Chain A
Amino acid sequence: MESGEDYAKRSERVKALLSSYYGDSGQGPSAPPGGHAQQGTPAGRGPPVAHIGGIAAIDTPTFNADQHTSDILRIFSLEKLMVEHRNMAREIKNIDSDMQQLVYENYNKFITATDTIRTMKSSIDAMESEMLRLQQTASVVAEKSLSVSNKLQQRRESMEQLYKVQRLLRKLQTVFELPRKMRAALEEDALDTAVGLYAEAQPLLHKYGGRGTFKVIALESDFVAQEISQLLKKRLTERKDDTEQCVLLLRKLGEPDDTLQDKYLTGRVARVKRKPLVTLSRELFGEYFSIVRRVVSDAAKAGVLRGSLLREARAQAAKEGGSAVLSVNSPALEQLSSDWGAEAIAQALSTMSIDVGLLAAHLPELQLKERALEVVQASIQQHVTLSFAALKQRVIDAAVAVRTALASEAADAGPGSAGPGAILQQGSVYLAELLQRGLAVLLQGLRGYESAGGARLLASWRDQWVDLVQGGLQSFFGGLLLASLELAALRYDGGDLMREALKASGTAGGGLVGQGSAGPDLMGPPTGPAGAAAGAAQELVKPGLVLLLAKLCKFLEQVMVPWVMETIAASFASAGGPGGGGGGGGASGVDLPPSFVPGEVARRLSAASSAMVLAYVEMHGRQLSVMVRRSTGSVSWLTCKEPRGPRPVCSLLLERLARVEAEAAGLLDEPGSSMGTGVNLGSSVHGAGRKAGDHRESGAAGTSALYGGISNPFGGRDSSAVERNVAKLFREKVHMTGSVPLASPAILAAIASVALKSLLESIRLETLGRAGLQQLQLDVASLRPHLRRFLLRGGGGKGDGAAVVEQLLEDVVLSATERCVEPQLLEAAVVERILASASSER
Chain B
Amino acid sequence: MGEPTTHYSLKYQARVLVAVPSDTITSKWLVGTTALREENEVRMLQFDADSEQLVCKLVYSHPAEVWDIAPCPTRDDVFVSVWAKGGNSSATLWKSVGDGGQASAQMQLEQQVELAGQSRAMRCALWSAQQTDTIVTLEESTLKKWSIAEAGAEATSSCPAGEMVQLWSGALHPRNPSLLCTAGSNDVQTWDLRNLGRPMGEIKMAHKMPVRSISFAPHNDTRVLTAGDDCKLRFWDLRNPGQALLELGGHRHWVWRALYNPVHDSLVASCSSDCCVNLYYTPNLATAPVTASATEVAGAPAAGGGTPAGPPATTPAATALGGTVVGAAGAAAVHKVPGRSGDLDGKVVSWDEHEDSVYGMGWSAAEPWLLASLSFDGRVTVNRVPKNIKYKILI
Contacts and interface: CB of A to CB of B under 8 A. Distances in A.
Interface string A513-556: 10011011001011000110011011100000000000000000
Given A493-B232, A505-B329, A736-B275, A758 B254 contact: yes
Contacts of A537: 321
A834 interface: no
Interface string A706-731: 00000001000110010011001000
B331 A491 contact: yes
A196 B326 CA distance: 66
Given A493-B247, A495-B347, A757 B36 contact: no
B249 interface: yes
A494 B347 contact: yes
Interface string B303-338: 000000001011101110111111111111101101
B296 interface: no
B60 interface: no
B250 A736 contact: no
Interface stretch (A141-149, A183-191, A357-365, A477-485): A477-485
Given A494-B344, A736-B253, A820-B36, A509 B332 contact: yes
Interface in A103-148: none
Q: Give the dominant DSSP class at A's interface.
A: helix
Contacts of B48: none
B155 interface: no
A534 B321 contact: yes
A530 B323 contact: yes
B346 to A, nearest CB: 3
Contacts of A535: 321
A74 interface: no
B350 interface: yes
Nearest to A501: B332
B252 interface: yes
A486 interface: yes
Contacts of A718: 11
Contacts of B329: 482, 505, 509-510, 512-513, 516
How many B residues touch the partner, as a band?
35 or more
B280 interface: yes
Given A492-B344, A622-B230, A718-B11, A509 B333 contact: yes
A243 interface: no
Contacts of A397: 323
Given A482-B332, A486-B321, A493-B247, A538 B314 contact: yes
A505 B355 contact: no
A757 to B, nearest CB: 5
Contacts of A491: 247, 315, 317-318, 331, 335
B286 interface: no
B213 interface: no
A821 interface: yes
Contacts of B350: 737
Contacts of B230: 622
A494 B280 contact: yes
B377 A725 contact: yes
Contacts of A525: 322
Interface in A62-118: none
Interface string B219-245: 000000000011110000000000000
A767 B323 contact: no
Contact of B336 (A483, A485, A505): A505
Interface string A621-642: 0100110010000000010000
Q: Give the dominant DSSP class at B's interface.
A: loop
Given A622-B208, A754-B252, A492 B335 contact: yes
Interface in B325-364: 325-333, 335-336, 338, 344-347, 350, 352, 355-357
Given A491-B247, A506-B336, A717-B38, A396 B317 contact: no
A486 B346 contact: no
A263 interface: no
A818 interface: yes
Contact of B325 (A486, A531, A821): A486
Contact of B346 (A494, A733, A737): A494
A494 B274 contact: no
B325 A728 contact: no
B101 interface: no
B336 A737 contact: no
Contacts of A12: none
B324 A520 contact: yes
A661 interface: no
Given A513-B329, A622-B209, A721-B11, A495 B250 contact: yes
B357 A761 contact: yes
B392 to A, nearest CB: 16
B13 interface: yes
Contacts of B376: 764
Contacts of A757: 253, 273-274
B153 interface: no
B369 interface: no
A748 interface: no
B276 interface: yes
A823 B38 CA distance: 13
A159 to B, nearest CB: 72
Nearest to B311: A539
Interface string A378-394: 00000000000000110
Nearest to A527: B323
Given A534-B322, A625-B229, A736-B275, A482 B346 contact: no
A275 interface: no
Given A397-B323, A486-B328, A517-B326, A539 B335 contact: no
Nearest to B11: A721
A93 to B, nearest CB: 96
A233 interface: no
B12 to A, nearest CB: 6
Interface in A631-679: 638
B313 to A, nearest CB: 7
Interface string B360-387: 0000000000000000111000000000
Contacts of A516: 324-326, 329
Contact of A396 (B232, B250, B274, B325): B325
Contacts of A396: 323-325
Contacts of A505: 329, 332-333, 336
A181 interface: no
B11 A761 contact: no
A638 B36 CA distance: 13
A489 B208 CA distance: 15
Nearest to A506: B336
Contacts of A519: 324
Interface in A216-239: none
Interface string A310-329: 00000000000000000000
A523 B323 CA distance: 10
Contacts of B37: 713, 821, 823
Identify which of A493, A520, A534, A725 gathers the most chain B CB atoms within 10 Å of its CB: A493
Given A493-B232, A520-B324, 7 more contacts: A486-B318, A494-B248, A517-B326, A736-B252, A754-B253, A757-B273, A758-B253
Minimum-distance CB pairs A-B, first 8: A526-B323, A494-B346, A493-B249, A486-B328, A482-B328, A494-B248, A736-B252, A492-B335
Interface of B: 9, 11-13, 35-38, 84, 86-87, 208-209, 229-232, 246-250, 252-254, 273-276, 280, 282, 311, 313-315, 317-319, 321-333, 335-336, 338, 344-347, 350, 352, 355-357, 376-378
Interface of A: 392-393, 396-397, 400, 479, 482-483, 485-487, 489, 491-496, 498-499, 502, 505-506, 509-510, 512-513, 516-517, 519-520, 523, 525-526, 530-531, 534-535, 537-539, 614, 618, 622, 625-626, 629, 638, 713, 717-718, 721, 724-725, 728, 733-737, 754, 757-758, 760-761, 764, 767, 818-821, 823
7 contacts: A487-B321, A491-B331, A495-B346, A513-B326, A614-B252, A713-B37, A721-B11
